[in-house]
Amino acid sequence: NAGVTQTPKFQVLKTGQSMTLQCAQDMNHEYMSWYRQDPGMGLRLIHYSVGAGITDQGEVPNGYNVSRSTTEDFPLRLLSAAPSQTSVYFCASSLQYSSGNTIYFGEGSWLTVV
């Protein structure tokens, strides 16, 4: 059982480049989400999804796109990278309808935009 898998683990981008952070889970979780973690800012929700075909914005969605074509995958796209997007990104998933379910995190993706 792999849990939540994020790729790549490290990436350096130039300003203006685009890229996709991949996230996959094999737990049949309805809820998937992306967070960014910055010093002193904690974990901020970028986008989330409560099922295939359904996505919604979190606290800091600007500059990012998501889609959810399958239950397993929830990629995060940076359309035109900016230095302000340098951060650690976490993908997380959870069962939606079961009570008390915890959220499972991937190992994080370190992104540097120069």
Partner 1 sequence: AQTVTQSQPEMSVQEAETVTLSCTYDTSESDYYLFWYKQPPSRQMILVIRQEAYKQQNATENRFSVNFQKAAKSFSLKISDSQLGDAAMYFCAYRSLWVGTYKYIFGTGTRLKVLA
Q: Which residues bind partner 1 (CB under 8 A)?
A: 31, 33, 35, 40-45, 48, 50, 56, 58, 88, 90, 92, 94, 96, 99-100, 102-103, 105, 107-108
- Contact present, 112 and 88 (Cβ < 8 Å): no
> For residue 18, which of 86, 98, 97, 77 has the smallest C-alpha distance?
77
Minimum CB distance to partner 1 smaller for 26 or for 107:
107
Per DSSP, 101 falls in state: P
Distance CA(19)–CA(107), nearest Å, equals: 19
Minimum CB–partner distance for residue 80 and partner 1 (Å): 26
Minimum CB distance to partner 1 smaller for 28 or for 40:
40
Minimum CB–partner distance for residue 106 and partner 1 (Å): 9
